[in-house]
Amino acid sequence: MRLKDKVVVITGAARGLAAKTSRLIASEGGKIVGGDRDIDGLRRVVESINQGGGVATAVKVDVTSKKDMIALMDAAIKQHGRIEVMVNAAGGYFHYQGMIETTEDEWQSVIDSNLKSTFLGCQAALPHMVKQKYGRIVNISSLAARTYSYFLGAHYSAAKAGVLGLTRHIAYEYGPQGICANAVLPTAFRGERLSEIMSPEQEKDLIGKIPLRRLPEAEDIAPVIVFLASDDARFISGASIDVNGAMVTA
C-alpha cells in the first residue's frame, strides 16, 4: 500500500478524474478528504469508498473561495491531525465560442476555477505541510497548457499553463521544507466532461491524432497522480508529467 495512512485532500472529487483517483488512493491506504461544490455527488463517492472499507469524508467547498479552502484543510486537520497530500483537480469550463466572443465573466470564471483555485488549495495546505516538513502537491493541468484547447479555449489554456508556473514555483520555494510539487498534464480522457463537450465524430478525429490510437480513461491518469503522491516519487519535484499517448512530446 503506497499511501498507507496518508491524509489526502482532493478537490473536484464528486465525479470524473478526482472521483476515480480518490477510489484508487483509498485502495492504496490513503485517507480521503474530498472537496467539491456538488456535495450530493461527492457524498456518493465518499460513501462508496467507506462501504468498501476505505476512509473518506466529504466537504462542500467552492474552490475559488479562500475561506472554503481553509475550511477544507481545517476539516482534514480536525479529523486526522495532518495533511500529507493535496491534489488540486477541480475546475470549470464553458463551451468555447472563440476569443472575440469570450465574455469577461467567462474569462474570470475559468481562470478562477482552474488557476486561482489551485493557488488557494496550495496556499491553504502549505502551512500544515511546512509544519510537518513533509508534503506532496499534485496539480492537475492539461495538454492545453503545452499547446491549446480546441474545445475549451484560450482562458482554459492560459489557466492550465499558469498551473505549471505555479507548481514549479512551489517546488522551488518549498523544496527546502520537504515538499514536492508536480503537475499532471492529461490529454482529453473519457468521462462525464468529455461526453458534454465532444461529439462521437470529434472523438474519432482526436483518436486519429494520438499515436497510441485510443482515448485514455480516467483510470489511465489516476495511477500517475498516485505515483506522484507516493514516496516512490520522492525526488521528483517541479515536474510537468505528460499523459497524452505521445500526442505531444518533449
Which residues are known catalytic residues?
Answer: 156
Task: Give the type of residue at 116.
Answer: K
46 binds ligand NAD (CB under 6 A): no
- The residue at minimum Cβ distance from ligand NAD is 16
Looking at the Cβ atoms of 112 and 134, the one nearer to ligand NAD is 112
Ranges within 170-229 binding ligand NAD (CB under 6 A): 186, 188-189, 191-194
Which residues are bridge partners to 86 per DSSP?
9, 137
Q: How many residues bind ligand NAD (CB under 6 A)?
A: 28
List strand residue ranges (DSSP E) for 48-152, in order. Answer: 55-60, 85-88, 135-140
Measure Cα distances from 2 to 85, 89, 183, 232, 239 in Å: 13, 20, 19, 8, 20
Looking at the Cβ atoms of 31 and 37, the one nearer to ligand NAD is 37
Cα separation, 11 vs 1, whole angstroms: 22
Minimum CB distance to ligand NAD, residue 214 (Å): 13
Looking at the Cβ atoms of 103 and 234, the one nearer to ligand NAD is 103
Q: Which of 6, 23, 31, 37 binds ligand NAD (CB under 6 A)?
A: 37
142 binds ligand NAD (CB under 6 A): yes
Task: Give the type of residue at 50.
Answer: N
* Rg of the Cα atoms in the chain: 17
Contact 224, 50 (CB under 8 A): no
Q: Which of 3, 16, 31, 162 binds ligand NAD (CB under 6 A)?
A: 16
Cα separation, 113 vs 198, whole angstroms: 21
Cα separation, 133 vs 130, whole angstroms: 5
31 binds ligand NAD (CB under 6 A): no
Options 85-93, 99-107, 171-179, 206-214: segment touching ligand NAD (CB under 6 A): 85-93
Interaction site with ligand NAD (CB under 6 A): 12, 14-18, 36-38, 41, 61-64, 89-92, 113, 140, 142, 186, 188-189, 191-194
